[in-house]
Chains A and B, each alone.
Chain A
Amino acid sequence: SAVISQKPSRDICQRGTSLTIQCQVDSQVTMMFWYRQQPGQSLTLIATANQGSEATYESGFVIDKFPISRPNLTFSTLTVSNMSPEDSSIYLCSVDISYEQYFGPGTRLTVT
């Protein structure tokens, strides 16, 4: 398994601003993922972030809205840009280790 931390754990942001969420893993991993979990809902994959290549976005998610960085094998960031109240969600990063995905604790974002 892996120990995954996220910063911030929660934030309240104003409409139109941007927030960058950090994900740190205690071991080197090739594949990292970013998910969104809207209140009371299941998890939806935003993008796959592999070190050394551009992130791959799922349908309905675009790079301009959710830019992702993956500078090394233990770290990634997700930015939620030009936020609106509809972006209020929990954002989770995960890593793949031998075909098993392990999740961070999540970042709870509220946009007012």
Chain B
Amino acid sequence: GQQLNQSPQSMFIQEGEDVSMNCTSSSIFNTWLWYKQEPGEGPVLLIALYKAGELTSNGRLTAQFGITRKDSFLNISASIPSDVGIYFCAGQSIPYSGAGSYQLTFGKGTKLSVIP
């Protein structure tokens, strides 16, 4: 099946630093989604990407859909303590026929720790 490689697995950074994480896939996806999960909570959608090459921002977060459709990255600028959490990428293959499962394949996550 499809597999996503997400890196790095964990990061320790100083408050104010920029962060970059990425995901690569062995298969093509139609959509890339980035989520953040905090302890005891479900994943929260941060950014959704729909087109190869697309660059999208959400506040201090910027994500790009790779041109090959097999990769994506997420950048966080000027990190703050509340950025702490686990960030997951997810690729989605939407069946063009309109039938079937809109299955998400998740990366293993990047655990971000911010040192004040």
Chain B min CB distance to A43 (Å): 5
Find residues 77-112 in chain A having any chain B CB closer than 8 Å to their own CB: 92, 94, 96, 99-106, 108
Interface residues of A, count at CB 8 A: 25
Interface residue tally of chain B, by bracket?
20 to 34
**Out of B40, B48, B88, B109, which one reaches A100, CB within 8 Å?**
B48
Within the complex, the shortest CB–CB distance from B85 to chain A, in Å, comes to 14
B103 within 8 Å of A (CB atoms):
yes
Name the distance in Å between B106's Cβ and chain A's nearest Cβ. Answer: 5
Q: Is A45 on the interface with B (CB-CB < 8 A)?
A: yes
Against A, the Cβ 8 Å flags (1 = close, 0 = not) of B18-47 are 000000000000010101000011111100
Q: Are B45 and A1 in contact (CB under 8 A)?
A: yes
A24: interface (CB < 8 Å)? no
Q: Are A42 and B106 in contact (CB under 8 A)?
A: yes
For B35, list chain A residues within 8 Å (CB). Answer: 103
Q: Known: A42-B108, A43-B106. Contact between A99 and B50, CB under 8 A?
A: yes
Decide: A48 and B103 in contact? CB cutoff 8 A. Answer: yes
Sample of 17 A–B contacts (CB below 8 Å): A42-B107, A42-B108, A42-B109, A43-B88, A43-B106, A45-B104, A59-B1, A92-B42, A99-B48, A99-B50, A101-B33, A104-B42, A105-B40, A106-B40, A106-B41, A106-B42, A108-B40
Chain A positions within 8 Å of B, measured between CB atoms, are 1, 4, 31, 33, 41-45, 48, 56, 58-59, 92, 94, 96, 99-106, 108
